[in-house]
A and B are shown apart, each in its own frame.
Chain A
Amino acid sequence: MNGMLTLLVLLPLAGFFLNGLLGRRFGPVFVNGVGVGLPLLAFLTALWAWRTLETGGGVPIIETVFTWAVVGEHVFEVSFYLDRLSAVMALIVTGVGALIHIYSIGYMKGDEGYARYFAYLNLFLFFMLLLVLGRSLLVLFVGWEGVGLASYLLIGFWFQDVTKARAGRKAFITNRVGDAGFLLGMFLIFTAVGTLEMDRINEAFATGLIPAGVATAAGILLFIGATGKSAQIPLHVWLPDAMAGPTPVSALIHAATMVTAGVYLVARMSGVYLEAPAASTLIAAIGVLTAFLAATIALVQTDIKKVLAYSTISQLGFMFLALGVGAYGVAVFHLFTHAFFKAALFLGAGSVIHALNGEQDIRRMGGLARRIPWTFGTFAVATAAIAGLPPLAGFFSKDAILWFALASGEGGAIWLWVLGSLTALMTAVYMFRLLWLVFLGRSRMQPETERHVHESPVTMTAVLVVLAFFSMIAGGFALPQYLEPLLALPEVRFHSALVHWAQIGFAVLLAVLGLVGAGWLYRDGGKPADQLWLRFRSLYRLLDGKYFVDELYERLLQRPWRWFSDRVFLRLGDRMLLDGSLHGLAALARLSAAAFARVQSGSLHWYAWMTLFGLVAVLIWVWRYV
Chain B
Amino acid sequence: MDNAHLLLAVSGTLFTLGLVGVIVRRNLLVMLMFLELMLNGVLLSLAVFTQLLGVEAGAVLMLLVFTVAAAEIAIAVPILLLLVRAGHTLDPGAYGGLKG
Contacts and interface: CB of A to CB of B under 8 A. Distances in A.
Interface of A: 600-605, 608-609, 612
Contact of A604 (B19, B92, B97, B100): B92
A602 B96 contact: yes
Given A602-B95, A602-B98, 16 more contacts: A600-B100, A602-B96, A602-B97, A603-B92, A603-B93, A604-B31, A604-B92, A604-B93, A604-B95, A605-B26, A605-B92, A605-B93, A608-B19, A608-B23, A612-B19, A612-B23
A265 to B, nearest CB: 71
Contact of A602 (B22, B26, B31, B99): B99
Interface SS majority for chain B: helix
Interface of B: 19, 22-23, 26, 31, 92-93, 95-100
A612 B19 CA distance: 8
Contacts of A601: 96, 99
A412 B97 CA distance: 96
Contact of A600 (B31, B97, B99): B99
A612 B26 CA distance: 17
Which 9 residue pairs of A and B lie closest in terms of their CB atoms, listed nearest first?
A602-B96, A602-B99, A604-B92, A608-B23, A608-B22, A600-B99, A603-B96, A605-B23, A609-B23
Contacts of B19: 608, 612
Nearest to A609: B23
A603 B98 CA distance: 10
A461 to B, nearest CB: 82
Contacts of B22: 608
A604 B19 CA distance: 13
Contacts of A609: 23
A603 B99 CA distance: 9
Nearest to A605: B23
> Which of A601, A602, A604, A612 has the largest number of chain B CB atoms within 10 A?
A604
A602 B93 CA distance: 8
Nearest to B15: A615
B39 to A, nearest CB: 14
Contacts of A600: 99-100
B76 to A, nearest CB: 13
Contacts of A602: 95-99
Contacts of B98: 602
Contacts of A603: 92-93, 96
Contacts of B92: 603-605
A413 B40 CA distance: 113
A603 to B, nearest CB: 6
Contacts of B23: 605, 608-609, 612
B80 to A, nearest CB: 12
A608 to B, nearest CB: 5
17 contacts: A600-B99, A601-B96, A601-B99, A602-B95, A602-B96, A602-B99, A603-B92, A603-B96, A604-B92, A604-B93, A604-B95, A605-B23, A605-B92, A605-B93, A608-B19, A609-B23, A612-B23
A589 B91 CA distance: 34
A604 B97 CA distance: 11
A609 B26 CA distance: 13
A612 B92 CA distance: 18
A601 B93 CA distance: 10
A200 B15 CA distance: 93
Contacts of B31: 604
A604 B96 CA distance: 8
Contacts of B95: 602, 604
Nearest to B99: A602
A609 B97 CA distance: 19
A571 B100 CA distance: 40
B92 to A, nearest CB: 4
B96 to A, nearest CB: 3
A501 B96 CA distance: 110
A612 B38 CA distance: 12
A608 B22 CA distance: 7
Nearest to A611: B19
B90 to A, nearest CB: 12
A603 B31 CA distance: 13
Contacts of B26: 605
Contacts of A605: 23, 26, 92-93
A73 B23 CA distance: 81
Contacts of A612: 19, 23
Nearest to A604: B92
A602 B23 CA distance: 14
> Which of B23, B93, B96 has the largest number of chain A CB atoms within 10 A?
B23
A276 B23 CA distance: 95
A602 B98 CA distance: 7
Nearest to B26: A605
Nearest to B20: A612
A601 B95 CA distance: 11
A420 B93 CA distance: 99
Nearest to B21: A608
A612 B31 CA distance: 15
B84 to A, nearest CB: 15
A602 B91 CA distance: 12
A601 B97 CA distance: 9
A600 B96 CA distance: 10
Nearest to B19: A612
Nearest to B91: A604
Contacts of B93: 603-605
Contacts of A608: 19, 22-23
A600 B99 CA distance: 7
Nearest to A615: B19
A603 B97 CA distance: 9
A556 to B, nearest CB: 62
B100 to A, nearest CB: 7
A605 B30 CA distance: 13
B30 to A, nearest CB: 12
A28 B9 CA distance: 100
A201 B99 CA distance: 78
A602 B92 CA distance: 9
A512 to B, nearest CB: 97
Nearest to B16: A612
Contacts of A604: 31, 92-93, 95
Nearest to B28: A604
> Which of A605, A608, A612 has the largest number of chain B CB atoms within 10 A?
A608
A609 B31 CA distance: 13
Nearest to B34: A608
